[in-house]
């Protein structure tokens, strides 16, 4: 058996959660492997320490304080101004603007109609400047 896999089985072994075949195989491995035996001993020691430690009850004010903090945090997030949404909105608006600008830019081609339109604007400017407007 691979010791890496057996380290994961220590708690199942101690909790008696293995079927008969797996338990026999694991015990056979434990007889041959000092590292895994040491892991089982450490886990047994930790379990005995945990069992011998008395349960400590939290003071009443602690749960009241925790709940008050949770409510305050919840209220703060509800009424607080969330900059994340502004960032997302700005990114979407910029994307739309760039998309529309790119679409117009790529579809506009300089051809005969565009040159004549430029000539018309240029001529209008010249005529208006000649007339003194």
Q: What is the pLDDT of residue 102?
A: 73
Q: How far apart are CA 60 and CA 126, in angstroms?
A: 88
Using the Cα atoms of residue 102, residue 107, residue 111 and residue 114 in order, give the sign of their dihedral: negative
* 14-35 tens-digit pLDDT: 999 999 999 999 999 899 888 8
What's the predicted TM-score (pTM) here? Answer: 0.41
pLDDT at position 44: 92
Residue 116: per-residue pLDDT: 55
Cβ-contact 9, 26 below 8 angstroms:
yes
The answer on pLDDT for 119 being more than 60 is: no
For every residue of the chain, DSSP letters joined together read: --HHHHHHHHHHHHTT-S-HHHHHHHHHHHHH-HHHHHHHHHHHHHHHHHHHSPP-PPPHHHHHHHHHHHHHHHHHHHHS--HHHHHHHHHHHHHHHHHHHHHHHHH----HHHHHHHHHHHHHHHHHHHHT-
Residue with tokens 């240029």: 122
Q: What tens digit of pLDDT does each residue of 45-67 get?
A: 988 888 888 888 878 888 888 88
Specify the pLDDT at position 24: 93
Q: For position 19, what pLDDT does the model report?
A: 93
> Which residue is associated with the tokens 């208006």?
128
Quick one: average pLDDT of 69-77? 81
């Amino acid at each position: 058996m691979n010791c890496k896999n057996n380290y994961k089985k220590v708690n199942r072994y101690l909790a008696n959660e293995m079927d008969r075949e797996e338990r026999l195989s694991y015990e056979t491995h434990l007889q041959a492997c000092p590292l895994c035996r040491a892991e089982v001993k450490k886990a047994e020691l930790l379990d005995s320490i945990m069992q011998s430690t008395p349960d400590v009850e939290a003071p009443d004010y602690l749960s009241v304080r925790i709940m008050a903090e949770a409510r305050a945090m919840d209220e703060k997030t509800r009424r607080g101004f969330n900059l994340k949404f502004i960032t997302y909105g700005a990114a979407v608006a910029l994307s739309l603007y760039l998309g529309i600008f790119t679409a117009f830019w790529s579809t506009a081609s300089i051809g005969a109609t565009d040159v004549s339109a430029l000539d018309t604007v240029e001529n209008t400017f010249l005529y208006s400047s000649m007339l003194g407007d």
